[in-house]
Amino acid sequence: MTTDRPVIREIITKAVCGRGTYKYQRSIDLEVPVGQKTIQVLGNFVSNAALDESTVAAQTRQGKTVRVKGHYDVHVWYAYDQDTKAAKTTVTFIEYIPIQTYGGESISNIKAFAEIIQKPRCRKAYVKVLEDKTVIRVEIEQELAAEVTGLTKLKVGLVPAAATTVSPIMGKELLPPQKQPAAEYILSTPNYYLDLKCEEDLPEEDDEDYEQY
């Protein structure tokens, strides 16, 4: 008695156990030196974005997360009191990316990988007066992605290979057509008579037989 149901077996293999993306916004304050007044932001730029490390964080209320640490530089060009100046600050950040699992649970050798999907960019930059100082507030937006890999246990179905038979095919070998000499081809043409004459055998133009020919 045979059955088409596959045999289920458990295997241990390295696989991606989960992935996730996270877009966040944060505000960065660049302090303006005391004495600078009538400040106006002329431009801004974010550079040197990079990730320093990524690790699997402990279980939280949001589920599994990947802890990502990185940095980038914020540049601001502004005008004050009929003069201009450029300010720069380096921002170090730590973000937690929620991971969506795919059903399999990693049992060992867990590793996390992260990347920058959208580089940090400035959404808005403006002057803000606080209680004891004046700052240029820059709103930054960035998107990160992470995945978790590890040795995981999976169940797979084994289906036996179907039996195949090969029957010989008998036939005649096909050969390309052979070229024949022109003379042989002419002689083998049926129902045609060709009167071949040399130039010496042709009548002269003033001869009576020329028109008949």
66: in domain: yes
- pLDDT, position 199: 56
Residues 6+ apart with CB under 8 A from 39: 32, 78, 79, 80, 127, 134, 136
pLDDT tens readout for residues 41-55: 999 999 999 999 999
The most confident of the ranges 83-87, 103-107, 155-159, 174-178 is: 83-87
CA distance linking residue 208 with residue 188, whole number of Å:
35
153: in domain: yes
123: in domain: yes
CA distance linking residue 21 with residue 116, whole number of Å:
10
Residue range of the domain that includes 109: 18-158
119: in domain: yes
179: in domain: no
Task: Specify the number of domains making up the chain.
Answer: 1
| % of the chain residues with pLDDT over 90 | 39
- pLDDT, position 103: 61
198: in domain: no
Residue 69: strand pairing partners: 53, 94
Amino acid at 185: Y
204: in domain: no
How does DSSP classify residue 182? H
Residue with the bigger pLDDT between 177 and 15: it is 15
CA distance linking residue 146 with residue 111, whole number of Å:
11
Q: Residue 59 in contact with residue 33, Cβ under 8 Å?
A: no
Q: Output the DSSP codes for 60-98.
A: BTTB-EEEEEEEEEEEEEEEETTEEEEEEEEEEEEEEEE
pLDDT tens readout for residues 143-201: 999 999 888 887 888 777 665 555 555 556 666 677 666 555 555 555 555 555 555 55
